[in-house]
Amino acid sequence: MRIVVAGATVSTYETLDALIRHSADVVGVLQLRNGSSHTVTGFAKLDELAALHGIPCATFRNINDAEIVEQVRQWQPDLIFVVGLSQLVRAEMMAIPARGCVGFHPTFLPGGRGRAPLAWLTLDAQPGAATFFLIDEGVDSGPIFVQETFEVTPEDYAADVERKLIEATGRALDRWLPELLSGVWNPRPQEEILATYNGRRSLDDGLLDWHQSSDEIHSLIRAASTPHPGAYTWYQGRKLIVWRAEFEKHLPWRGAVGRVLHVEPERGALVQVCDGLLWLTQVQFSDEAEPRSAETVLKVGIKLGFVVQDEVAALRTRVDDLEARLAKLEAPGDG
């Protein structure tokens, strides 16, 4: 079976590596170009692994570009693995392989179809699954070849979930590839009635609202953490990314929501939220290169985020002042 592998992430690398380990006939690799990698969570290069095993590798910006389609035609694959790629494979590319295109998704399909699965899994602290399926015209809706589940706990950060996913991906491939390469082809249809969908997430979805519960804030910090851009708040007009936080259940402190009540070198900065206290342990200003321990950045008494009414009032004062100056400039002279 002639196989092509396409993708852009650590999951793609794991898939290519497993195919090579199982002596599959990988005839070509498609790698997302480095210039497009800034939009990809967990980007991984494939060309060095491909070169090590004498496999030709082509780079692309869009997998459906005419020159990429033509290159794949020349490789004459029976199967294309499209793993770790958010781009949809169009009908022209899907029609090339004799057997079809295999997709990958890290949720227990048919639940959790759609976008940003790593973030949603971390946010919800629900079990995931390394799932390989036959791509069809729908969104993550094709029949399933193999699923390998993994647990996600309320303490896991996105990087922890990514690591568990990669380990589950290896187990799934080691279980399934020997069957596939021996000629077994028996994907099972998904139960459509059980399908759920997750929408895309963007940078501003990481904005922290200190009036939410400690559980909600902690979950968002975990979900938005590395390899994602990070949850964030505002401090003295600067964007402050919060990478890690811990619950505080015992200290008898109380303060205004969003205010820093205490700092400790070993723990960070203690912040009041609507139903309790959180330690912010690792933070980073958006214009800085490296994260820092929170107690080196935050001071007791400061308030995180913007107070909307105060900010509106300040803007109103500035507008009134500007209008007064403009009126004075436009007033007719004394003669």
Per-residue pLDDT reduced to its tens digit, 225-253: 999 999 999 998 899 999 999 999 999 99
Amino acid at 40: V
| Nearby residues of 293 by Cβ (< 8 Å), 6 or more positions away | 265, 268, 281, 282, 283
Residue 35 has pLDDT above 60, yes or no: no
Q: Give the closest residue to 17 by CA, choosing from 166, 217, 204.
A: 166
| Whole-number pLDDT of residue 13 | 95
| Whole-number pLDDT of residue 34 | 75
Q: Are residues 22 and 127 in the same domain?
A: yes
* Residue % of the chain over a pLDDT of 90: 86
Residues 125-150 have a mean pLDDT of 95
Q: What is the pTM of this model?
A: 0.90
Total count of domains within the chain:
2
Q: Which of 168, 183, 198 is the last residue of a domain?
A: 198
Q: Exposure of 22 by Cβ count < 10 A (0-12 exposed, 13-18 middle, 19+ buried)?
A: middle
* Mean pLDDT estimate for the chain: 93
Domain that holds residue 82: 2-198
Residues 36-59 have a mean pLDDT of 85
Q: Are residues 11 and 147 in the same domain?
A: yes
| Whole-number pLDDT of residue 125 | 95
Give the pLDDT band (50/70/90) at residue 333: low
Structure tokens at 104: 């990958």
For residue 321, being part of any structural domain is answered with no
Q: Are residues 256 and 305 in the same domain?
A: yes
| Whole-number pLDDT of residue 330 | 83
| Whole-number pLDDT of residue 308 | 82
Q: Which residues of 180-208 are buried (b: 16+ CB within 10 A; e: fewer)?
A: beeeeeeeeebeeeebeebeebeeebbeb
Residue 329 has pLDDT above 90, yes or no: no
Residues 188-209 have a mean pLDDT of 95
Q: Are residues 190 and 104 in the same domain?
A: yes
Residue 38 has pLDDT above 90, yes or no: no
Q: Are residues 58 and 30 in the same domain?
A: yes
For residue 84, being part of any structural domain is answered with yes
Amino acid at 159: A
Q: Which of 171, 198, 225 is the last residue of a domain?
A: 198
Q: Which residue is it, tokens 């929408």?
A: 199
Measured distance CA(176)–CA(184) in Å, rounded: 9
Residues 318-334 have a mean pLDDT of 85
- Residue 118 host element (H or E): helix 117-124
Q: Are residues 46 and 133 in the same domain?
A: yes
Give the pLDDT band (50/70/90) at residue 287: very high
| Whole-number pLDDT of residue 298 | 95
Per-residue pLDDT reduced to its tens digit, 59-80: 999 999 999 999 999 999 999 9
Q: Are residues 178 and 234 in the same domain?
A: no
Q: Which of 27-31, 290-294, 326-330 has the lowest mean pLDDT?
A: 326-330
For residue 139, being part of any structural domain is answered with yes
Q: Are residues 55 and 194 in the same domain?
A: yes
CA angle 265, 266, 267 (to 5 degrees): 95
Q: Which of 198, 215, 249 is the last residue of a domain?
A: 198
Which CATH number does the domain housing residue 211 bear? 3.10.25.10
Q: Are residues 42 and 129 in the same domain?
A: yes
Residues 40-54 have a mean pLDDT of 89
